[in-house]
Structure 1
Amino acid sequence: MRFRILLWLSLGLPCLLLAQVKPKKTVQSRDSVILKPLGLEPQKIDTVEVKRNTVLKQQLLDRVRINLRSNPVLLNGNTFDVLNNIPSLQIDELGNLSFLGKMGVLVTVDGKQTHLNGIALISYLKSIPATSVANIDLMSIPPAKWSAEGYAGVIDIRTKRDVLKGLKGTVFLGGSKGQLWKYNNGMLIQYGTKKWTINSGFSIARSSNYFDVARERQLVAEDNEINTIAQHNQERNHALEMNARIGLEYRISKNSSIELNWNFLQSNYKELGVYQTSFSNAGDLFQSTSSWSNLRNPIHKNSANLHYDYAAENKKTTIQWDVDYLNYTSNRWQDLTTMIMQRAAHQRKDEQLLYSNNPFVVDLFGIKTDFQRKFEERFELEAGFQLSRSARSSRGYYKKGKTDQDLRDADALESAFRQVEYLEAIYTDFQIKLKQWEFKLGLRTEYSQFHNEINDVYAELGKRKQTLYLFPTLFGIYKINKENNKAIQIAYGRRIVRPNYQDLNPAIFFFDANTSYQGNAHLVPQLTDNMELKYVHGQRWNIGVTFLNHRDYISMIHQLNGKNYAQTYQNIEAVRSTAISLNVGQEIFKSLTLYGFGQIQYIHYKNTPDELNDLSIDRNLWSFQSNLMIQVKLPHKLTINWTNSYRTNVLYAQTVIKPLYQMHLAINKQFSNNLSLALTIRDLFHTNVIKREIVGDRFNIRSKTINDSQIVGLNFNYTFGLYQKQKAQKTSLETEVSRM
């Protein structure tokens, strides 16, 4: 009942407010502020005209650009908080990120991949203050110059590229509390002279969470007898993370510059888990187990980037060149103790110890060049190439026994896996303007060759050693009226999802004695065709239709073998989805603005078993999701953001995730142009309870997961320094270092 009341309240209030909307002219006011034009250094001026209806989103030919200046709440806290306040995005503390309802989003910062996921990605986003972000580009279908990885699109976070003479710094402090404490504190320092600029940053963060999972598995035996396995899991984890980065830029001339950047990440992840399992047959309990897990996973990441930038005097020709290197290491240690109790004997029958060690090393090296030429106002050409080499290796060491003194090597579980991949890519983008029409055509070609070794023996996996893919893209816009505020847009792009190393790695990771995860070395890349048709009504609202066709879709699969439950990844032959989505940004009153996103989606999974894939599936589902954000501006520079999100059942291959509703609140106080304070409350009523139902061949699994999602946080930002703006020709293009 409480859930329904909250849902109807959150959906009904915006409808009542929309009914009051009346046509009105743009309201302007004159205030004394610090003006921060995009790409320019703030300048103190006496008066400036500020349009009250500054839009949150700007629709461009091939992307949606988020203007942080449109919402004071977006200018406070960190980049993670910013993404949480964009209606078409969903992100949580665990690193689950979806864009327009689709998972598998590629996150880049200044066009460069972070090569992070999960809580490591969240900690990195929290180390970037919102005040250092210029804008955020959302690309559901990226142009050809971007990596073809990730079928759900790209989120590119563009940081400010100030050219200063003097010292400028930003201090950010953030703390939050659910059941467990979290914090994120750091500082950014920038110092510039006529020719040199030094950028540096340092942050230290603690992330923590807990999971309370209730799971029931029902297995149907060949004689139709039902066996039930009931499980109750409790986990607590925390990670202490340190991020550091430093960049040195030298302006060779007013037309060219060279820059060297270094990033460092260190994380110490620790997790304690207790797993209670009971086994029953036809309703009679006959066995139970208790497992205790102690997991440690230290992570180190070092990355470096050398960047050269050139722009001709007339700015019609630009050239960029990048060299990148990344080294990533982790070492997962786990101590797992399991006690087995026989119901009939009422005593402990057996004790098992399993110790494991899984080191993992990644080395990436890449070179990329971009060229852009504007021939005249109507024509523009972009082209470039990329070369990269990646090497990934891991080993799995296991020891088993009844006591510490009896531990012996478990040779049957041990494995070694190594993968080396070479990637070569070239692309061209051609843009043309014809009166009310504008087109952008692109083609990206990627050639890769790889080899794999399992247990130090060469193996050709995925049936292919060398692959060649073509990724065409098309963007078109027709401007209906002369004011250019109404338009029809079309877009098409082909994307790829290559199985990552952990998806392929055959090493087994045990959650408990009866639950495990293992990679699948036979995975092949997933190819996706993405088509969009959209009507844009100014910056107020747009409505669109999308269609996705996936081949060899990579999905998590659940399998049961006796009492043991295993997770792995497999290719699904065909997955197709269609969606209708609506985006709204409307000023209701002078101090009240509504932003909204809604989507209806249909998805269908189909797979026919073969010799390497025994999965049989033919399932479909309609779903709906919405996200409404109400912004209220109060006196004394107070701003409130109230966000409500809801979705119905969602289908992921064998799994249906039940409906979910959440409410969030953010309050911002701007004390001055340099000082701000923000209060955030995530999952206000702790409704983020994940319920899943997994249906497979002769088994059914139901689970409920509760985690530390109800969080109250406080963020403080302060900018200081003595500096002045230098006049320098901006030469940077929107570049990226693609998948390495």
Structure 2
Amino acid sequence: MKTLNQLLIAFLILNAILVQQTHAQTTEAVKPVYQILGKIFEKDKDEPIPYAAVSLIDATTDKTVAGAVAGFDGEFILANFGDGTYKIQISFMGFQSYSSQPITISATNFRVDLGKIQLETEAVALQEVTVTGQRDLFEEKVDRTIYNAENDKTLIGGDATDVMRRVPMLSVDMDGNVSMRGSSNILVLINGKQSAIVASNVADALKQIPAEEIKSIEVITSPSAKYDAEGTGGVINIVTKKNNLQGATLNINSSAGLRGSNLGLNASLKRGKMGWTLGGFGRAGYNIRGFFDNQQTVTNADGTALQINQYADTRSNMIFGRYNLGWDYELDKYNFLTASVSLGLRNMQNWQDGLSTETFFEETLVSSVLRDVSVNNLSNNVDVNFNYTKTYEKPLKEFSISGLYSQNNLTNDFINSLYNGTFDDILSRIKNNNLGTNQEYTIQLDYVTPIANSKNKILEYGAKNILRRATSDFAYFTATGSDGEFVEIDDVNFSNEFTYDQNVTAAYASYTTNFLKKYAFKGGLRYEYTTISADFRNSEIEADIPSYGVIVPSVNLSRRLENGRMIKAAYNKRVQRPSLNFLNPNINAANPQQISQGNPLLDPELTDNYELSYSTFSKGTTINFTTFFRNTTGSIQPVRTVQEDDIIFTTFENIGREKAYGLSIFSNITLSDKFSLNGSVDGYYARLNNGLDDPLYAAANDGFVFSGRIFANYSLPNNWQLQSFAFMRGRQVQLQGTAGAFGIYSLNINKQFNEKRGSIGFGAENFFTPVFRINNELITPTIMQQSTIGMRNMNFKVNFNYRLGKLTMEPSRRKRRGVTNDDLKGGGEGNENMN
């Protein structure tokens, strides 16, 4: 509560300072604040058009001077420009563009109100649309930052992991693991929904989504009460491309490169009130090579030390696929049905060739072992969604009911072959079979209604139930020689079946209002009650896990200032339940010197988040500053101990306390109608402590963590486009050591042809860096480990896209809802007025 009070005080102080500055600017006679404002409506319907793009054009040079995006009620304000003659241009998909008559601005005519501006709908052939200039890649809303991935042509041939690396406040490591402001405890949704595969492994799920199918990425740092309480870092919503089109079309996209290729086909058909979509995407990775080098020192109780050195070359092959079928039907003006089926597959094979393990005692070699390791990481998943939405004559009033069934089948096996000095003689083999299944059944009801016929006061409430069942059927086998029969180990610790059932029932209420003209408030409460049962089939072990309930508050407050500026303050409480990755009791001993095991008795984490931000716009430049504080108790942290034969054993406990103090800055700069830059820098100071008193196991660490990215886009003549991108993630502070820094970069050139129906391009990635080296460090009172991971990540690729068919545009009359499962720890749209 003390920190919340401090946040509110800081918000009021910053608000007072900025208001005073604004008042001083306004009252300064020699420097009046120039403004052009108005409201955008749909012609003949008298309904506001939110989010329309507004540009201020110099009437003499035809260059863009300023820009803005209309609010929820269609209002816009252009500011921060000087004397001159200008034109206003307005554009929004599905409507004819608008261009005003010349407007002369001077010290005697510095504020112009254009009143109501009405846009007419249009039907156009999609391939005839011509887009000039560069659309903004970033949008800042009251509770989220939006990255418009569809405007980034360098992403052709990539997947969702490549898109995530370009998004402010997000960091992605070389394995595809995503974190937000240093926290990996985030929710990843796809069109507002979460499938079982996302809950099981976010990194692998992202590899299944082609970049070309992503419209935008929404980073929600302060989720409202309608979102599940899970996700201490925040929510990431991946919005795929949808349309409100009449006609039929087929889009082909492909890419072929040195280390990977992909092929995607997407078709859509819309006739009258019914629409169908059918899509498929396949991605293959090959020629992916690297190495790892690991040196660890284990200190014994008598002070002696054991040195263990490991080295291996690595290889990987992978195939990913995603296929979907969608259907929607408009029953009548107020009732709509949607349904979809999505199938996915992942086939990853990894090899460690010549895994050499040398053990030294007091600098004397005592053993040398040579192995080969083969790991299969396979899965397939299915998601089935159904949604019914009812709207009303009363604007913004809506009821919806949604259902989701999701299942993900997992296979994570390995075979470890032990050689006798050379690769010609196998002494023994160990095999681990680990078959897992994640199932989810979800039902959700949501109701939205304005209060007292006001569009500025919105009440939302709803209920939800999620039933999950996770199983892990694991077994260990041993065999002699290269062709001996595998025999199962008769030990319940190595061969067993684990079942984990979780039921989450939730209810929420949220209230949104505008007040004092420029203030917006959104607050809410959510209550979640969780029951858990866990069972081991082949043993009498009982996991007695108590049920628990949590109350989750959220508060968002914003104030619009002059010249398009905004300040925001937010507080929310979050819960993070452990996923199967942390719970699975299967012993992972692919590397026999470093084994790990999950803990089925883990409790959820609890986090308080505080945030204060300021955004501004000036002469084609958007800048956002955000400062935050995050306090987590019961944090799930790894616990490492030394077992017999000096094996490092890792499991997980709720023993961590984390605090993070951070600042994020990002900017989008339009230098001309052909050249734009955007970039961001994120930094935070982390303090971690596992809360243990025993000096043998006590751990604490702190330090600064930085990351950044920059993106440049230049439009060349004759439909050529040049784009470049670079990303750097600094050293990561962990409880027991650090994870190394790394950086990536790319350059793309594309050419559009045949009336922009097709494009072909060439891309190069990490072309000056044949090998990446990431250095990691682990430090405990008894363990000192330094490891290096090497990856040969240089890549060259050719991209090709082509679109067949013709579609006409019809403006959307409704928004769609769906199930949103946001709640496992694992690897409402906002605007400046409402939400």
TM-score by length of 2: 0.78
Match of 1:358 in 2: 434
1:200-215 alignment runs, 5 A limit = 200-208=278-286, 209-215=288-294
The 1:618–1:711 alpha-carbon spacing in structure 2 relative to 1, beyond 3 Å, is same
Given that 1:69 and 1:75 are in contact with CA atoms closer than 8 Å, whether structure 2 keeps it comes out as no
Tell me the equivalent position of 1:584. 667
Is 2:230–2:575's contact at 8 Å kept on the other side of the alignment? yes
Determine the C-alpha separation between the residues in 2 that align with 1:137 and 1:458: 46
Answer yes or no: is the 8 Å Cα contact 1:95–1:121 preserved in 2. Answer: no
Q: Which residue of 1 aligns with 2:518?
A: 436
Report what 2:816 is aligned to: 732
* One of 585, 596, 612 as aligned partner of 1:506: 585
Give the CA deviation at 1:204: 1.9
Q: Give the deviation of 1:323 after TM superposition.
A: 0.8
State the distance in 2 between where 1:174 and 1:51 align.
26
For the 8 Å contact 1:583–1:597, the answer to whether it is kept is yes
> Number of matched residues?
702
**Change over 3 Å in CA distance of 1:74–1:735 after alignment to 2:** farther
- Tell me the residue number matched to 1:67: 148
Deviation digits for residues 551-580 of structure 1 (CA, Å, limit 9, x no counterpart) = 111233443324212333232331101011
Distance 1:680 1:387, change over 3 A: same
Correspondence for 1:245 among 314, 320, 324: 324
Match of 2:658 in 1: 575
Displacement after TM superposition at 1:197 (Å): 0.8
Quick one: which of 711, 715, 736 aligns to 1:629? Answer: 711
Cα offsets for 1:90-138 (capped at 9, x unmatched): 3366322233443233221210114333553233222x524xx443321
Are positions 1:370 and 2:446 aligned together? Answer: yes
The 5 Å alignment of 1:92-171 reads: 94-114=175-195, 115-116=197-198, 117=201, 120-126=204-210, 129-130=212-213, 133-171=214-252
Is 1:520 the equivalent of 2:520? no
**8 A Cα contact 2:595 2:648, kept in partner:** yes
Give 1:253's aligned amino acid. Answer: D
Q: Which residue identity does 1:334 align to in structure 2? A: F
Larger CA deviation: 54-63 vs 587-596? 587-596
Match of 1:419 among 493, 500, 505: 500
> CA offset at residue 257 of structure 1?
1.1
Q: Is the 8 A contact 1:30 1:48 kept in 2?
A: no
1:399 corresponds to: 477
Aligned pair in 2 of structure 1 residues 545, 200: CA closer, same or farther (>3 Å)?
A: same
Helix, strand or coil for the counterpart of 2:600?
A: coil
Pair 1:187 & 2:265 matched: yes
Amino acid at match of 1:694: L
Matched position secondary structure for 2:209? helix
Distance 2:507 2:388 in 1: 19
CA contact (8 A) 1:601 1:624 kept: yes
Q: CA separation of 1:317/1:600 partners in 2, compared to 1, >3 Å: closer, same or farther?
A: same
Residue 8 (structure 1) aligns with = none
Structure 2 unmatched ranges of 5 or more: 1-62, 68-85, 97-120, 825-835
Compared CA separation, residues 260 and 349, structure 1 to 2 (3 A): closer
Q: What is the aligned counterpart of 2:527 among 437, 442, 445?
A: 445
* AA in 2 matched with 1:355: K
TM-fit CA distance, 1:638: 2.7
2:777 maps to amino acid: E
Contact 1:73 1:678 in 2 (8 A): no
Shift of residue 657, structure 1, vs aligned partner: 2.0
Which structure 2 residues correspond to residues 205-284 of structure 1 after superposition, within 5 A? 205-208=283-286, 209-274=288-353, 275-284=355-364
Secondary structure of 1:503's counterpart equals helix
Name the SS of the counterpart of 1:121 in structure 2. Answer: helix
- Closer/same/farther in 2, CA of residues 30 and 168 from structure 1, 3 Å limit: farther
Shift of 1:170: 1.2
Match of 2:745 in 1: 663
Change (3 A) 1:625 1:162: closer
Q: Is the 8 A contact 1:662 1:684 kept in 2?
A: no
Instruction: State the AA in 1 paired with 2:720.
Output: L
Cα shift readout 1:400-457 (whole Å, capped 9, x = no counterpart) = 2433547433123222211111110111111110112111002111111010012445
- Separation in 2 of the partners of 1:618 and 1:98? 21
Question: SS where residue 223 of structure 2 aligns?
Answer: coil
Residue 3 of structure 1: aligned partner: none
- 1:227/1:727 CA distance change after superposition, 3 Å: closer
Q: Is the 8 A contact 2:417 2:429 kept in 1?
A: yes
Q: Distance in 1 between matches of 2:457 and 2:308?
A: 65
User: What is the match of residue 549 of structure 1?
Assistant: 631
Structure 1 residues 196-205 or 236-245, which shifts more?
236-245
Residue identity matched to 2:319: L
Indicate conservation of the 8 Å contact 1:26/1:53, yes or no.
no
**Superposed, which structure 2 residues align to 1:689-728 within 5 Å?**
689-726=773-810
The aligned counterpart of 1:480 is 561
2:609 is aligned to 530
Give the aligned partner of residue 39 of structure 2: none
Richer in strand (by share): 1
Q: Determine helix, strand or coil for the equivalent of 2:143.
A: coil
Higher relative CO (Cα under 8 Å, sequence separation at least 6) belongs to 2
Conserved 8 A contact 1:29-1:49: no
Q: What percentage of residue pairs aligned between the two structures are identical?
A: 20
Most deviating of 595-604 and 659-668: 659-668
How far, CA to CA, are the matches of 1:505 and 1:331 in structure 2? 13
Report if aligned partners of 2:132, 2:673 keep a CA contact under 8 Å in 1: no
Partner of 2:371: 291
Q: Do the aligned partners of residues 161 and 298 (structure 1) sit closer, same or farther apart at CA in structure 2, a change above 3 Å counting?
A: closer
Q: Please tell me whether residue 454 in structure 1 is matched to residue 536 in structure 2.
A: yes
Contact 2:189-2:235 within 8 A present in 1 as well: yes
Q: In the superposition, relative to structure 1, how do residues 308 and 533 fare at CA in structure 2: closer, same or farther (>3 Å)?
A: same
Displacement of 1:298 in angstroms is 3.3
Aligned CA distance change for structure 1 residues 78 and 253 (closer, same or farther; 3 Å): farther
Per-residue CA distance 1:226-266 (angstroms, 9 max, x = gap): 21100002222222233211112121112211122111123
Q: Distance in 2 between matches of 1:684 and 1:559?
A: 41
Q: Write the distance in 1 (CA, Å) between the matches of 2:306 and 2:416.
A: 25
SS in 2 for 1:378: strand
Whole-Å separation in 2 of the counterparts to 1:45 and 1:649: 46
In the alignment, which residue of structure 2 is the partner of 1:338? 418
CA contact (8 A) 2:64 2:673 kept: no
Q: Distance in 2 between matches of 1:245 and 1:47?
A: 28
Q: Amino acid of the residue matched to residue 398 of structure 1? A: Y
1:663–1:683 CA contact under 8 A, matched in 2: yes
1:41–1:602 CA distance, 2 compared to 1 (3 A) = farther
Distance 1:350 1:308, change over 3 A: closer
Shift in alpha-carbon separation, 1:254–1:329, aligned structure 2, 3 A: same
Q: Counterpart of 1:502 in 2: which secondary structure?
A: helix
Alignment of 1:295-314 (within 5 A): 295-314=375-394
Structure 1 residues 546 and 738: alpha-carbon distance in aligned structure 2, compared to 1, 3 A threshold: closer
Is the Cα–Cα contact under 8 Å of residues 194 and 726 in structure 1 kept in the other structure?
no
Question: How does the TM-score come out when normalised to structure 1?
Answer: 0.87
User: Per-residue deviation at 1:335?
Assistant: 2.2
**Distance change (3 Å), C-alpha of 1:631 and 1:102:** farther
What SS does structure 2 have at the residue aligned with 1:540?
strand
Letter paired with 1:603 = A
Query: Any idea what the Cα deviations from partners look like across 1:283-322, whole Å, max 9, x if unmatched?
Result: 1212111111223343221110111112113332111211
In 1, the alpha carbon distance for the partners of 2:256 and 2:295 equals: 36
CA contact (8 A) 2:624 2:667 kept: yes
Q: Could you tell me how far apart the structure 1 residues matched to 2:552 and 2:579 are?
A: 20
SS in structure 1 at match of 2:176: coil
Task: Report the AA paired with residue 703 of structure 1.
Answer: S
Q: Which residue of 1 aligns with 2:549?
A: 468
Change (3 A) 1:491 1:605: same
